[in-house]
Amino acid sequence: MKVLFTGFEPFGGESTNPSAVAVEQICRLPPPAGVQWQALILPVEFRRSATLLQSSINSWQPDLVLCIGQAGGRPQISLEQVAINLLEARIPDNSGWQPSGEPIVATGPAAYFSTLPLKAIRQQLQQNGIPANISYTAGTYVCNALMYQMLHQLASMAGGRGGFIHIPYTPEQAAGKADAASMAVATVVTALTEIVRCCQQYSQDIAAVGGTLD
């Protein structure tokens, strides 16, 4: 199984982005048996991130695409369920572009759903002591746009699966932020390894209760 990880460059005034650090670290480790993996670090730019990922998918033909981004306000690993066809940028991306109310793909569907076994992944991470849950919004910034475009591309390919994972601040980032939760990069790397193993094991998700009340 060929696994493509993506992470992002820093944005929003941060000097580092742990998504990039984590995917670079995991790809320096020996992969599980039967797995090849590689990392792609993307700019926090709507247009260029999508173009670079599309090119990498076309050239390497991965079986699994795991896009990683940071959502500093979240206390746990967020397994994103859905990407919506909307560009709504509260702040400009790193190229200075700030779209508002535009579709990501003009003729695309309203949303795409992750093709990962999210409930199985959540169960595996929680059993390993890693805080994780399924999220029903990936936001409306570059992370959501990348997830949507990745799934739009994979939908036209045979057999490719993909999804997006948001991670919290690192302890170093959280140290200067009141009440901010954090997670060590080493824990994120362990989580990503378990996610790959789950995707090897489960072609279909498990039956389990999910959802939210808000």
Catalytic residues: 80, 143, 166
183-196 burial, b at 16+ Cβ within 10 Å, e below that, comes to bebebbbbbbbbbb
How far is residue 214's CA from residue 208's CA, in Å, rounded to a whole number?
19
Radius of gyration in angstroms for the set of CA atoms belonging to the chain, rounded to a whole number = 16
Q: Can you spell out the DSSP letters for 123-174?
A: HHHHHTT--EEEES---SSHHHHHHHHHHHHHTTSSS-EEEEEEE-B-HHHH
Structure tokens at 25: 């670290």
Write down how long the chain is.
214
d(CA 73, CA 77): 11
- In DSSP terms, 164 is beta-bridged to 67
CA distance 196 to 208: 20
